[in-house]
């Protein structure tokens, strides 16, 4: 039964998330809003019910499997990718490098300033 | 059974969700083993290998993507509740977040703005097509969220998913090199950075090669970045006038 209860909570939050996104016409995916809903609910509740943890962590353990079906869809876009292959390669490498460098530098400086070397 | 019988059986089966579902699970299982054989190289990540295997399988058998997806959508559907479930690790780290709230938020926003604007900027300058551009925008966010965002802003969700996976591999390759170059030693900084720039790949990498502390921070960064990007990205895209 815990799996059913946990799944119901997750799907229920997703449902509320979808409703909120539609009702307030937010530019955010429904499941992301559902995640915010669940986070708020957990804060109010103060702990993660074990049924929810069973279902949630089970899903997250196989998260990588879940995006395989969508990833296979790339076969429908081989033409588009082929045309922009160079652009994609340069953009991905340069931008990922920049993101890593900026994030690491900012957090390192801020953490050192606050705690003289972070808290680890 | 004669040849026409086999033919009819195949026509029946290939239009049935069973084949796609089974093929997806088997491909993922094989990919996990290949990943181990390849010494856990980030470029042989199970997801990338499974996708390649399945594309090969579909091209060989002549099943088109639409009929494959009819079966595979049952797996795909679980992305929604899985995204919601990301709230659980985020909640688990709430104490750590509270203690480092300001540095974490500032670094997270700086990282997101860098990721999105450098991606859009470079791709725009090089003349990428609009759909490609919009699918690239959410590329440093974990796949389920990135696909939702891409759909929301007019990109192609499956292309976005593939770009997210490639970003993860590239991030894991560049990360250690950039940390050495910037002389970053704090494992929580390393973890947070990897989780922000390389989502689930970065998180897995940190748990395996840096340590549990770095892994926890990476998971935190992944959830936080996904959530914040969903809210911030539409504004940045509008700013670029795409």
Q: How far apart are CA B60 and CA B55, in angstroms?
A: 8
Q: Is A36 on the interface with B (CB under 8 A)?
A: yes
Round to whole Å and give the CA distance between B232 and B137: 11
Residue A118 has pLDDT above 70, yes or no: no
DSSP state of B16: S
Residue A18 pLDDT: 93
Neighbours of B101 (CB within 10 A): 10
Residue-wise pLDDT for B171-220, tens only, equals 988 999 999 999 998 888 999 999 899 887 788 788 777 877 787 788 78
Nearest to A71 among B88, B162, B178 (CB): B162
Is B123:B116 a contact under the CB 8 Å cutoff?
A: no
Q: Which residues of B touch A79 (CB under 8 A)?
A: none
Min CA distance, B85 vs chain A (Å)?
A: 5
Higher pLDDT, A119 or A21: A21
User: Rounded to two decimals, what is the model's pTM?
Assistant: 0.78
Interface check for A87 against chain B (CB to CB < 8 A): the answer is yes
What pLDDT is stored for residue B29 in this prediction? Answer: 94
A71–B213 C-beta distance less than 8 A: no
Residues B221 and A111: their CA atoms lie apart, in Å, by: 15
Complex confidence, ipTM: 0.84
In this complex, which of B84, B110, B151 lies closest to A13 when CB atoms are compared? B84
Q: Which of A31, A34, A107 minimises the CB distance to B103? A: A107
The pLDDT tens digits for A58-114 are 888 887 788 788 888 888 888 888 888 888 889 999 999 999 999 999 999 988 776
Q: How many CB pairs under 8 A join A and B?
A: 321
Q: By the 8 A CB rule, do B189 and B215 touch? A: no
Judging contacts by C-beta atoms under 8 Å, the chain B residues touching residue A86 are: 126
Among A29, A92, A108, select the one facing B152 at the smallest CB separation. Answer: A29
Domain ranges for chain A: 1-66, 73-120
The string of pLDDT tens digits covering residues B86-123 is: 888 878 888 877 888 888 899 999 999 999 999 999 98
């Amino acid at each position: 039964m815990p799996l059913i209860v946990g799944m119901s909570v997750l799907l229920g939050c997703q449902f509320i998330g979808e409703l909120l996104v539609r009702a307030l016409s937010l530019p955010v995916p429904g499941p992301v809003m559902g995640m915010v809903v669940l986070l708020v609910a957990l804060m109010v509740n103060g702990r993660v019910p074990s049924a929810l943890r069973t279902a949630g962590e089970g899903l997250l353990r196989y998260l990588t499997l879940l995006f395989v079906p969508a990833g296979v869809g790339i076969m429908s876009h081989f033409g588009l990718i082929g045309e922009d292959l160079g652009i994609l390669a340069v953009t991905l490498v340069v931008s990922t490098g920049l993101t890593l460098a900026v994030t690491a530098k900012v957090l390192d400086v801020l953490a050192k300033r606050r705690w003289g070397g972070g808290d680890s | 059974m004669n040849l026409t019988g086999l033919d009819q059986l195949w026509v029946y089966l290939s239009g049935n969700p069973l084949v796609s579902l089974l093929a997806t699970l088997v491909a993922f299982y094989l990919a996990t083993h290949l990943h181990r054989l390849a010494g856990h190289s980030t470029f042989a990540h199970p997801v990338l290998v499974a996708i390649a295997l399945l594309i090969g399988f579909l091209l060989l058998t002549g099943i088109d993507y639409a009929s494959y997806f009819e079966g595979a959508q049952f797996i795909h559907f679980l992305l929604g509740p899985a995204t919601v479930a990301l709230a659980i690790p985020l909640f688990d780290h709430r104490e750590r977040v509270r203690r480092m709230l300001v540095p974490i938020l500032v670094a997270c926003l700086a990282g997101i703005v860098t990721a999105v604007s450098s991606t859009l900027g470079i791709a725009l300058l090089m003349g990428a097509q609009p759909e490609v551009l919009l699918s690239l925008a959410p590329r440093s966010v974990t796949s389920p969220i990135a696909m939702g965002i891409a759909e929301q802003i007019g990109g192609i969700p499956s292309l976005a998913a593939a770009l997210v996976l490639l970003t993860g591999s590239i991030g894991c390759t560049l990360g250690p090199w950039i940390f050495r170059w910037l002389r970053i030693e704090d494992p929580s900084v390393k973890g947070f950075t990897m989780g922000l720039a390389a989502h689930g790949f970065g998180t897995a990498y940190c748990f395996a090669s840096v340590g549990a502390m770095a892994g926890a921070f990476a998971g935190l960064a992944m959830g936080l970045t996904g959530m914040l990007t969903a809210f911030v990205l539409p504004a940045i895209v509008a700013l670029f006038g795409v």
